[in-house]
Amino acid sequence: MTTTRTRVAIIGAGPSGLLLGALLHKADIDHVIIERQSPDYVLGRIRAGILEQVTVDLLHEAGVGQGVESGGTVHHSIELVFKNTRHPIDVTGLTKGKVVTAYGQTEVTRDLMAQRSQLNLPTVYEAADVQLHDFDGHQPSVSYTKDGVNHRLHCDFIAGCDGFHGVARASVPKDAITEYEKVYPFAWLGVLADVPPVSSHAIVYANSERGFALCSMRSMTRSRYYVQCPSSDKVEDWSDQRFWDEVRRRLDPELADRMQTGPSIEKSMAPLRSFVAEPMRFGRLFLAGDAAHIVPPTGAKGLNLAASDVKYLSSALIEHYKEKSDAGIDHYSQRALARIWRAERFSWWLTTLMHQFPESGAFGQRMQEAELDYLVRSQALSTSLAENYVGLPLDFG
């Protein structure tokens, strides 16, 4: 058994863990990231694609903003399709100048991993049997096995950035945590293809009687599409041809005609759920990102919520070490949860508005169409959509 010490032990090398590590390094705060998968495995997970300005600013603050600056595509609007008609929502106009940026989570992760490697920052990949110890006491530590050797990392704090299925939240006593969850009766099937996006200036969200579809992008030559499908479906049930035909059926005729298709380079299914664990702090353990909350991807909030958690947590840890104050640490959970619940509401609302719910039938479809019809004509409701889509301010109150 080898024993080492650091200030902050970060569990997970996804966007949350990597971003937290970058910000702690910038503040000269020792930390170690412990990740159970390999770097290639982490990079191989195709997930989010839309960044709020808060997230873009944080990437610059962390010193990795050059990637999104050169490779990101700024969007000023989104498009809603319903009753076979497409309606633009002027997101920038409705929010007095705010934008979102299309830049994949894979690229964000790659940029953070590259910086970490150049700086030679301590990162343990393929760590097995990761366990947390004494995080509700004064001498927390993390144990793990690497290449058959047992290790124990003593630390001041543990950041659980290990996602929904991680060990951090699972290590908290059941009577110390409250979990809120809603599982949706459908999933998303996503395809990545090296074809130009059908709309390079706006993400397209389609409500149709056949179900939801989304047209997104990763670059001017790489597109990301999703269709709502039954949770019981398997990826192998969907040939490329079946997928492209179904996307076309859910779009308006002009967009369907314009859409370029090609062989999928990645195809995966994602279940949809809303989930929040409260609180997000247990003694010297803090949860951040998907370890603490999940949103249905409809509102493009998952990655962005992880970023705002990390902003709050990194600020609190820096304040602890540099200003000898625990105000930020003591306030972290409450502050993060205020923003999380607002994003949970928005993601639930947009998912409920855009997807087919078998139990609500034809009347439910008409209610969705009536609300969409009202939304595209109402300055108030479209402003509400727009200000949530670009992300509410970190200090929204």
Of 17 and 49, nearer to ligand PHB (C-beta) is 49
Residue with tokens 């579809």: 213
Smallest separation (angstroms) from ligand FAS to the CB of 21: 11
Among positions 12, 72, 104, 328, the unique one binding ligand FAS when judged by CB under 6 A: 12
Helix (H) or strand (E) holding 264: strand 264-278
- Tell me the C-alpha distance between 291 and 12, whole Å: 10
For residues 330 and 283, is the Cβ–Cβ distance under 8 A? no
Which of 205, 225, 226, 312 is labelled catalytic? 205
Which of 144, 226, 297, 320 is labelled catalytic? 297
Of 44 and 253, nearer to ligand FAS (C-beta) is 44
- Tell me the C-alpha distance between 185 and 271, whole Å: 9
Which of 75, 98, 151, 355 is labelled catalytic? 75
26 noted as active-site residue: no
Smallest separation (angstroms) from ligand FAS to the CB of 378: 26
SS3 content of the chain, % helix, strand, coil (to 5): 40, 30, 30
Of 84 and 222, nearer to ligand FAS (C-beta) is 222
328 binds, among ligand FAS, ligand PHB, none (CB under 5 to 8 A by kind): none
Of 140 and 299, nearer to ligand PHB (C-beta) is 299
Please say whether the dihedral angle defined by the alpha carbons of residues 205, 207, 212 and 213, taken in this order, is positive or negative.
Answer: negative
How many residues bind to ligand PHB according to rule CB under 6 A? 11
Residue spans of alpha helices (H) in the chain: 15-26, 39-44, 53-61, 65-71, 91-94, 105-118, 240-250, 253-258, 302-323, 327-354, 361-375, 379-389
Smallest separation (angstroms) from ligand FAS to the CB of 142: 9
Instruction: Quickly count: other Cβ atoms within 10 Å of residue 262's Cβ.
Output: 13
Binding mask 97-126 for ligand FAS (x = CB under 6 A): --------x---------------------
- Tell me the C-alpha distance between 161 and 151, whole Å: 19
What Cα–Cα distance (Å) separates residue 70 from each residue in 111, 172, 294?
12, 41, 29
Please say whether the dihedral angle defined by the alpha carbons of residues 35, 156, 19 and 166, taken in this order, is positive or negative.
Answer: positive
167 binds, among ligand PHB, ligand FAS, none (CB under 5 to 8 A by kind): ligand FAS
For residues 161 and 11, is the Cβ–Cβ distance under 8 A? yes
75 noted as active-site residue: yes
Among positions 47, 311, 320, 335, the unique one binding ligand FAS when judged by CB under 6 A: 47
- Tell me the C-alpha distance between 280 and 312, whole Å: 12
Asked if residue 130 binds ligand FAS (CB under 6 A), the reply is yes
Which of positions 191-210 make contact with ligand PHB (CB under 6 A)?
203
Rg over alpha carbons for the chain, rounded to the nearest Å, is: 21
Burial of 295 per CB tally in 10 Å (0-12, 13-18, 19+):
buried
Binding mask 40-69 for ligand PHB (x = CB under 6 A): --------xxx-------------------
Task: Using CA atoms of 225, 228, 231, 234 in order, give the dihedral in degrees to the nearest 10.
Answer: -40
Asked if residue 277 binds ligand FAS (CB under 6 A), the reply is no
296 noted as active-site residue: no
- Tell me the C-alpha distance between 161 and 66, whole Å: 24
Which of positions 147-166 make contact with ligand FAS (CB under 6 A)?
161-163, 166
Asked if residue 216 binds ligand PHB (CB under 6 A), the reply is yes
389 noted as active-site residue: yes
Smallest separation (angstroms) from ligand PHB to the CB of 50: 4
Binding mask 247-286 for ligand PHB (x = CB under 6 A): ----------------------------------------
- Bridge partners (DSSP) listed for residue 219: 222
103 noted as active-site residue: no
Which of 31, 98, 293, 301 is labelled catalytic? 301
* Sites of contact with ligand PHB (CB under 6 A): 48-50, 203, 214, 216, 224, 297-300
* Sites of contact with ligand FAS (CB under 6 A): 11-17, 34-37, 42, 47-49, 105, 127, 130, 161-163, 166-167, 270, 289-290, 297, 300-303, 306
Catalytic residues, which ones? 75, 205, 297, 301, 389
